[in-house]
Amino acid sequence: MVGEDEKRSVFGDQAGSVELLWGGRERPSRGPRPALSLELITRTAIALADAGGLGAVSMQRVAGELDFTKMSLYRYVPGKNELVALMIDSAMGEPPQLPGGWRNGLRAWAETLTAVYHRHPWLLGAATGPRVMGPNELGWTEAAVAALADTGLSGGEQLDAVVVVSGHVRALAQVSASMGLGSARATEPEQVMSAALNELLVGRADRYPAVAAALAATEADAAERDRADEFGLERILDGLEAYMGGSR
């Protein structure tokens, strides 16, 4: 009926992204040589996003940055969604080489992923909703799963563990991204969270006693603020380790 590809299957709307991300695009032989390239367009778009967030990326601006009309971009990319998909996979970059030992490996994985989110904060907002994984993104997953391959965890458990760790990294990067809020420009996630929470809690401590107490305790003890980002990850790793030890 639908005389197209039979490539739809699981990917309904996203067939275009799948082709762009995974398909081997061969240059057609006729017609003039393209003046642009997917890589160049993607790189330019990423630069714009790094500088001004995802909102600063429009077809017009990307094209303008390259001294082309916006419509020329549509010769390379079917639409903006597909461009964003390319941006995501390109910004992720090659997955890291991990040190041996699942715990060290996963920790290094989390750290490099954190660095990626720090470098491209817009990834936090772009990677939401139904999406297609690109080669690099799947490569990151591969690296993390590979680190867990010999732990005795089942296949599903390995995947779940990766989801947990990556979710935690995301969550922490999210908090850290709130740094862009005021003029304070604190560097530690918790400091910002503290500042924002503190301001809201002024005169409302009775309504939110537990948060207020936790916050007050945090401010009194400056030492613990340094290990803020490590705490969560180590707890997760502890939980995995305990499970592996108990069920193997």
What SS3 state is found at 200?
helix
Is 23 near a second copy (CB under 8 A)? Answer: no
Q: How far is the CB of 42 from DNA (least distance, A)?
A: 14
Residue from 103, 224, 247, 248 in contact with a second copy (CB under 8 A):
224
Q: Where are the beta strands (DSSP E) in the chain?
A: none
What Rg value do the Cα atoms of the chain yield, rounded?
A: 22
Please tell me the count of residues contacting DNA according to CB under 7 A: 26
Cα–Cα distance between 183 and 26 in angstroms, integer? 49
- Name the DSSP letter for residue 208: S
Is 163 near a second copy (CB under 8 A)? Answer: yes
Sign (positive or negative) of CA dihedral 38, 39, 43, 46 = positive
138 binds, among a second copy, DNA, none (CB under 5 to 8 A by kind): a second copy
Cα–Cα distance between 41 and 83 in angstroms, integer? 9
Provide the token pair at 175. Answer: 């908090």
Cα–Cα distance between 136 and 159 in angstroms, integer? 17
Residue from 8, 13, 65, 71 in contact with DNA (CB under 7 A):
71
Phi, psi of 25, rounded to the nearest 5 degrees: -80, 110
3-state secondary structure 135-195: HHHHHHHHHHHHHCCCCCCCHHHHHHHHHHHHHHHHHHHHHHHHHHCCCCCCCCHHHHHHH
How many other β-carbons are positioned within 10 Å of the β-carbon of residue 59?
19
Residue from 41, 59, 132, 193 in contact with DNA (CB under 7 A):
59
Q: How far is the CB of 124 from a second copy (least distance, A)?
A: 6
Residue from 177, 206, 247, 248 in contact with a second copy (CB under 8 A):
177
Is 182 near DNA (CB under 7 A)? Answer: no
Nearer to a second copy, 41 or 147 (CB): 147
Is 113 near a second copy (CB under 8 A)? Answer: no
Measured in whole angstroms, the distance separating CA 37 from the mean position of its chain's CA atoms is 24
Nearer to a second copy, 4 or 199 (CB): 199
Q: How far is the CB of 161 from a second copy (least distance, A)?
A: 7
Nearer to DNA, 76 or 109 (CB): 76
Please tell me the count of residues contacting a second copy according to CB under 8 A: 84
Q: How far is the CB of 31 from a second copy (least distance, A)?
A: 30
Nearer to DNA, 50 or 188 (CB): 50
Q: How far is the CB of 217 from DNA (least distance, A)?
A: 39
Binding mask 126-145 for a second copy (x = CB under 8 A): --xxxxxx----xx-xx--x
Q: Which residues bind DNA (CB under 7 A)?
A: 27-36, 57-61, 68-72, 74-76, 79-81
